[in-house]
Structure 1
Amino acid sequence: MNNIPFITVEGPIGVGKTSLAKLISDHFQYHLLKEIVEENPFLGKFYENIDEWSFQTEMFFLCNRYKQLNDIQSDFLDKNIPVVADYHILKNLIFAKRTLQEKELSKYIRIYDVLTDGLPAPNIIIYLHASLDTLMERIQKRDRDIEKNISPLYLEQLSADYQEVMEKYQKQYPNVQVLSFNGDALDFVKNKKDLDTIIDKIKQTLTLGAYNHESTQEI
């Protein structure tokens, strides 16, 4: 576990992870790590045909996130420079378990376990969640070509997967503080008071010395 703040923002597609990570980075002057999304050459095909393109899509994300986190460790955390990222690599398993067939999933998990062994882990996770209507509305507003074929059912299932994984994660890693925020109730992009609510909670967690609470805190 790093003593230097390493914050990750997680949640389903369209919930506002990158926007919030950038706002946190700007406020605290932490280095911002953004995941590669649109650069994935398989992603558009994935949303058109999940069964056909899921393994290629997930392997591309896994390899890129592995490289990014390796670099973050050596270039920033080892030099006592705090980091905020708009993803946690555990999302790879969330997506893979939702989309891969059993044979491919078994192979994927073996590769995942090898690559993630020894990677830097966050000490604070910001978990954003929202209703399906909110997620679909935000996806439509940002109007990415690769996301035009996202199925509402897939997104709803993904949201449920995230909720389950985050609850299990907090029990498995009690030294990691998970701060949970309702994206239906908070608009941290347009409403500064909502952003201040999140920032204040992060400040409290940092002041407490991070990362030894026993339960997810919901706002």
Structure 2
Amino acid sequence: MTHAPFIAVEGPIGAGKTTLATMLSTEFQLPIIKEIVEENPFLDKFYRNMDDWSFQLEMFFLCNRYKQLEDTVMQYIDKGKPVISDYHIYKNLIFSERTLKGTKRDKYRQIYHVLTDDLPKPNVILYIRADLDTLLKRIDKRGRSFEDAMDTAYLQQLIEDYDEAMTSLAIREPSTPIITIDGNKVDFVENKDQFAVIALQVKEHMQ
């Protein structure tokens, strides 16, 4: 059971999750949990050959996120301290359901549930939606070399997978509000008023 506000920011690759989570962390003086991305040694291989490297990639992410959230429980949530993260552990299923097949996907699902079923879940989710053009511009702007080989069809499918996943989460966890942000229209970095609206929505769930 979550004893303190646990805020998660989610969205497809390039949506601005880490940026928004960092801004909210500063705004409310909250500790922030950032997922490990560039440290994953399989990313470059994965974007060049998804079939060969997907299981290694997904297992690396799952184990690292599990460890991060386990530490988060001990350091913050169990002590009644609010925390924000730039991901929801559920994202592991969003990605793995697309990248894994057959017995590898079955094995991954089993491991996922063993590791995560007793972890605390966020009590508010910020979901940044954005179309392909917006995501591609943001991905290009941040200049990660391993993302150069990313298949745009994969990214478009991921956008659709996220929409379905958020709908599923809303049904499975109706007590957890999902605040949807239109990433095509809302620029929380350059527009202070738009960021203030988001911050106010988050504050309402921190009472």
Which band: TM-score by shorter chain?
over 0.9
Structure 1: state its 5+ residue gaps: 208-219
Letter of the 1:155 partner, please give it. Answer: L
Query: Is 1:25 aligned with 2:28?
Result: no
Letter of the 1:137 partner, please give it. Answer: K
| Matched residue SS, 1:8 | strand
> How many aligned residue pairs are there?
207
Letter of the 2:57 partner, please give it. Answer: T
Show the counterpart of 1:213: none
Show the counterpart of 1:194: 194
CA distance in 1, matches of 2:168, 2:35: 24
Residues 115-164 of structure 1: CA deviation (Å, up to 9, x unaligned): 00211110000000101000000000000011111111100000100000
Q: Tell me, yes or no, if the aligned pair for 2:65 and 2:89 is still in contact at 8 Å.
A: yes
| Matched residue SS, 1:197 | helix
Structure 1 residues 56-135: aligned runs within 5 Å: 56-135=56-135
Structure 1 residues 133-144: aligned runs within 5 Å: 133-144=133-144
Letter of the 1:38 partner, please give it. Answer: E
After TM superposition, give the deviation of residue 202 of structure 1 in Å.
1.2
Residues 48-101 of structure 1: CA deviation (Å, up to 9, x unaligned): 111110000000000000000000000111111111000001000000000111
| Matched residue SS, 1:206 | coil
After TM superposition, give the deviation of residue 205 of structure 1 in Å.
3.0
Q: What is the TM-score normalised by the length of structure 1?
A: 0.93
Q: Please, what is the CA RMSD of the aligned residues?
A: 0.8
Structure 1: 4+ residue segments shifted above 2 A: 204-207
CA distance in 1, matches of 2:92, 2:117: 14
Residues 102-125 of structure 1: CA deviation (Å, up to 9, x unaligned): 211001000001000211110000
After TM superposition, give the deviation of residue 34 of structure 1 in Å.
0.1
Q: What is the TM-score normalised by the length of structure 2?
A: 0.98
Higher RCO by CA contacts (8 Å cutoff, separation 6 or greater): 2
| Matched residue SS, 1:166 | helix
| Matched residue SS, 2:178 | strand
Letter of the 2:52 partner, please give it. Answer: E
Structure 2: state its 5+ residue gaps: none
Letter of the 2:116 partner, please give it. Answer: T
Q: Tell me, yes or no, if the aligned pair for 2:5 and 2:205 is still in contact at 8 Å.
A: no
